[in-house]
């Protein structure tokens, strides 16, 4: 018991109780298995006695064993699923442990024609000791009391030649083995419990530290966003002054503006990520003309595409019926996907948005002409701060949060995001939205809906 520095004897009452509560379901499961195995054996013995032996006393004990087996099996199954009743469950296990010992010992002495060579008593001590996990005091009392009865029976049934040395040796030897087995298995489970508890507490401590660090970072991000925006505005104002338009100053102003914009986007992404993870966003579902929404997305990113000489094309479907979704969140998802496509596509390329509306699915594909996604990249692509190794083609920044935010928002909208290679080169990111439940009249609900799984 040195692995954790705490033995069972020195453990606190609360630690002992927690451990016993943890191992009790396993004890009840094993009790059910033993009772389930013992039932057909008892039934077979009853049938054999009725057909061949026809001893009324054996019939009584066989029926008693069958009835007790049914009760034990039922108790084990019911108590295993029941919450609470800790002391009741513990006492049921103790009583059944004692019953197993008494049953096997009684059977041993009922077959005097074959003992002391009959191994039933040895098995009767070893099987419960190895199957059930009881505290040392419990199994020592039960095993010791059983062996005391065994010795007393040997003494009272001894003939003129005295107690059989073989029976005495085998019985005592089996007791020692049973105690060693029970102690070893109990100690092993106790040490495993202590290690698991220590690991759980360490993980809880690490989680608390991580949460505190995240909170500090978010507070800092929230406080720094305003000053960053102000500084960027000042640089943009400087850029309009004639004296700052000279070549030597203009580059500095533009680089500062770009760096500040990247910082603002990173801080905004961190704040948005925290908001999503805290469940602070709930979609407002209503019928949305998807063609108009995608046109708004295109307008918002047209300047970014034009700066690279790229083009954004929307392939409109034949059917343009509205789709039930949150327009702001859906637009944010598509903007993140389109922004990524523009960043990683070469200058002068074309990025396509294709969408289709079916009765049970709205699918939006964003196709780019970039380097594509490496084949060894899996679901981790949508984790926070994950990067594929590809670089934006015009020096744009990438926070590593865009796809994470898009995937989490898609889940809120009852949708998913997937990706696959573009046949013409590049990647295709697909947003699939499933319908929200219609109202009785068939109209889309206007009320607020909480986050649906993807």
Count H helices and E strands in the chain, helices first: 10, 7
Q: What is the Cα Rg of the chain in Å?
A: 37
What pLDDT does residue 124 have? Answer: 81
Contact status, residue 410 vs residue 431, Cβ threshold 8 Å: yes
Helix axes 13-48, 86-110, angle to 10 degrees: 40
What pLDDT does residue 268 have? Answer: 65
Residue that wins the pLDDT comparison between 310 and 269:
310
What pLDDT does residue 2 have? Answer: 43
Asked whether the predicted pLDDT for residue 138 surpasses 60, the reply is: yes
Tokens 């059917």 belong to which residue?
319
Assign 3-state DSSP to the chain and report helix, strand, coil percentages, each to 5.
Answer: 65, 10, 25
Q: Which residues pair with 357 in a beta bridge?
A: 362
The pTM of this model reads 0.50
Find all residues with CB under 8 Å of 418, minimum gap 6, and list them.
429, 430, 432
Cα–Cα nearest to 337, from 301, 308, 290, 313: 301
Find all residues with CB under 8 Å of 261, minimum gap 6, and list them.
232
What H or E segment, with its residue span, contains residue 96? Answer: helix 86-110
**pLDDT digit string, tens, across residues 188-219:** 999 999 999 889 989 988 888 877 776 766 66
Parallel, antiparallel or unpaired: strands 311-315 and 350-358: parallel
Positive/negative CA dihedral, 235, 239, 240, 241:
positive
What pLDDT does residue 274 have? Answer: 65
In angstroms, the CA 292 to CA 269 distance is 25
For residue 323, give both structure tokens.
Answer: 């789709």
Indicate the pLDDT class of residue 105, thresholds 50, 70 and 90: confident
Helix ranges (DSSP H) in 367-433: 402-412
Contact status, residue 180 vs residue 174, Cβ threshold 8 Å: no
In angstroms, the CA 400 to CA 383 distance is 8
Indicate the pLDDT class of residue 445, thresholds 50, 70 and 90: very low
List, as one string, the DSSP characters of 278-330: TT----B-EEE-HHHHHHHHHHHHHHHHHHTT-EEEEE--S----EEE-HHHH
Mean pLDDT on 233-247 = 72
In angstroms, the CA 427 to CA 390 distance is 12
For residue 328, give both structure tokens.
Answer: 């702001």
**Please, is 27 exposed, middle or buried when counting C-beta atoms within 10 Å of its C-beta (0-12, 13-18, 19+)?**
buried
Contact status, residue 368 vs residue 345, Cβ threshold 8 Å: yes
Three-state SS sequence of 128-186: HHHHCCCCHHHHHHHHHHHHHHHHHHHHHCCECCECCHHHHHHHHHHHHHHHHHHHHHH
Q: Is the peptide bond before 35 cis (omega within 30 degrees of 0)?
A: no
What pLDDT does residue 440 have? Answer: 34
Tokens 């859906």 belong to which residue?
330
Indicate the pLDDT class of residue 450, thresholds 50, 70 and 90: very low
For the chain, first and last CA: distance in Å?
48
Contact status, residue 355 vs residue 290, Cβ threshold 8 Å: yes
Give the 3-state secondary structure of residue 416: strand
- According to the per-residue pLDDT averaged within each range, which of 44-48, 157-161, 225-229 is highest? 44-48
Asked whether the predicted pLDDT for residue 78 surpasses 80, the reply is: yes
Asked whether the predicted pLDDT for residue 255 surpasses 90, the reply is: no
Tokens 């908001």 belong to which residue?
275
Torsion region of 84: left, alpha or beta (phi above 0 gives left; psi -120 to 50 gives alpha): left
């Amino acid at each position: 018991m040195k692995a954790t520095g705490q033995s069972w004897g020195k453990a606190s009452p609360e630690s002992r109780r927690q451990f016993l509560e943890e191992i009790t379901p396993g004890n009840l499961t094993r009790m059910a298995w033993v009772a389930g195995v013992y039932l057909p054996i008892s039934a077979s013995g009853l049938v054999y006695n009725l057909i061949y032996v026809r001893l009324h006393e054996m019939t009584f004990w066989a029926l008693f064993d069958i009835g007790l087996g049914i009760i034990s099996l039922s108790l084990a199954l019911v108590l295993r699923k029941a919450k609470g009743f800790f002391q009741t469950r513990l006492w049921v296990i103790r009583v059944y442990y004692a019953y197993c010992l008494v049953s096997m010992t009684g059977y041993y002495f009922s077959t005097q024609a074959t003992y002391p060579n009959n191994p039933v008593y040895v098995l009767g001590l070893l099987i419960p000791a190895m199957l059930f996990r009881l505290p040392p005091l419990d199994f020592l009392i039960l095993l010791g009391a059983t062996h005391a009865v065994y010795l007393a029976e040997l003494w009272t049934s001894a003939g003129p030649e005295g107690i059989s040395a073989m029976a005495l040796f085998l019985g005592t030897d089996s007791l020692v083995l049973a105690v060693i087995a029970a102690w070893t298995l109990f100690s092993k489970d106790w040490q495993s419990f202590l290690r698991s508890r220590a690991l759980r507490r360490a993980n809880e401590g690490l989680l608390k530290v991580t949460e505190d660090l995240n909170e500090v970072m978010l507070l800092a991000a929230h406080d720094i966003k305003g000053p960053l925006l102000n500084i960027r505005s000042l640089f943009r104002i400087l850029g309009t002054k004639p004296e700052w338009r000279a070549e030597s100053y203009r580059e500095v102003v533009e680089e500062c503006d770009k760096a500040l914009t990247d910082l603002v986007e990173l801080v905004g992404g961190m704040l948005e990520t925290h908001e999503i993870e805290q469940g602070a966003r709930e979609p407002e579902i209503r019928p949305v003309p998807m063609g108009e929404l995608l046109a708004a997305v295109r307008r918002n990113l047209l300047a970014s595409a034009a700066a690279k000489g790229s083009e954004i094309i929307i392939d409109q479907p034949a059917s343009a019926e509205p789709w039930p979704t949150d327009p702001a969140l859906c637009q944010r998802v598509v903007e993140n996907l389109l922004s990524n496509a523009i960043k990683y596509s070469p200058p002068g390329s074309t990025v396509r948005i294709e969408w289709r509306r079916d009765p049970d699915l709205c699918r939006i594909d964003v196709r780019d002409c970039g380097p594509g996604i490496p084949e060894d990249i899996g679901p981790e692509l949508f984790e926070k701060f994950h990067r594929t190794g590809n670089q934006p083609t015009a020096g744009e920044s990438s926070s590593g949060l865009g796809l994470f935010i898009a995937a989490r928002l898609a889940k809120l909208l009852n949708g998913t995001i997937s990706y696959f290679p573009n046949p013409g080169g590049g990647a295709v990111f697909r947003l699939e939205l499933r319908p929200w439940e219609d109202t009785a009249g068939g109209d889309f609900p206007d009320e607020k809906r909480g986050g649906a799984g993807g």
